[in-house]
Amino acid sequence: MKNALLAWFQANERDLPWRKTRDPYAILVSEVMLQQTQVDRVIPRWRAWLERWPTVEALAAASAADVIVAWQGLGYNRRAINLHRAAQHVATHGWPDDLTELPGVGAYTAAAVGNFAFGHDVLPVDTNVRRVQERTGESFDGSCAQALFDLGATICLARVPRCGDCPLAYACPSRGRRYEPLRKQPAFEGSFRQRRSLALRAVAAGDQPADGDALVSLARDGLVVLHDGVASLPA
């Protein structure tokens, strides 16, 4: 299956800008941005981010407030703070052997950066990769990572896989199956996540939102600072 997968990938690889670099910082930024954010939305933001902060040292020297403002619109703003803290750690101590030592870096992100930047033979297993492995019953090594990402994103879809276009269908025990819809994520509209987002946006604009619960939650995550009831972005 591996050879068939890699041959398909050679002809069908998505043109993603972070695949053209081995810079661990640039790859880390892409992986953090891609968490629960669509690829098409990430591409221009990733380019703008690296234009503003082209190196890990440049990001480390930025203020947390500037980082939070630059992240607006990507969602899950705590990722911005963790990325900033990770950059500060690397700028001071270098890249650790165990990348999970960096703030906000879990097993998947560590594997992705380890593979794509440092050449480690480790397979980062996201939703797409797990789906392909479970359906085919096949284990893949690190050289198949990008191919599996693309196959899961474009062919081996969650509900109605395009088995007729799949290079692995000839030996796939799940060929032709259809799947129940996955549980939907709770709606953003009207949620506490939205309240947090609106409160943070207001603070970034210099206003004082009245949503005390949202501000306390943001302060707990290090996204705002509360002093005598007045909210501001961290220095």
* Catalytic annotation present for 51: no
Count helices and strands in the chain by DSSP H and E runs: 11, 2
Measured torsion, CA atoms of residues 225, 230, 232, 235, in degrees rounded to the nearest 10: -60
Assign 34 to helix, strand or coil: helix
Could you tell me the two tokens for 131? Answer: 């789906």
The backbone torsions φ and ψ at residue 232, rounded to the nearest 5 degrees and listed phi first, read -145, 160
232 - beta bridge partners? 225
d(C-alpha 183, C-alpha 64), whole Å: 35
d(C-alpha 113, C-alpha 29), whole Å: 10
Q: Which of 13, 31, 134, 138 is catalytic?
A: 31
d(C-alpha 24, C-alpha 113), whole Å: 6
Catalytic residues: 31
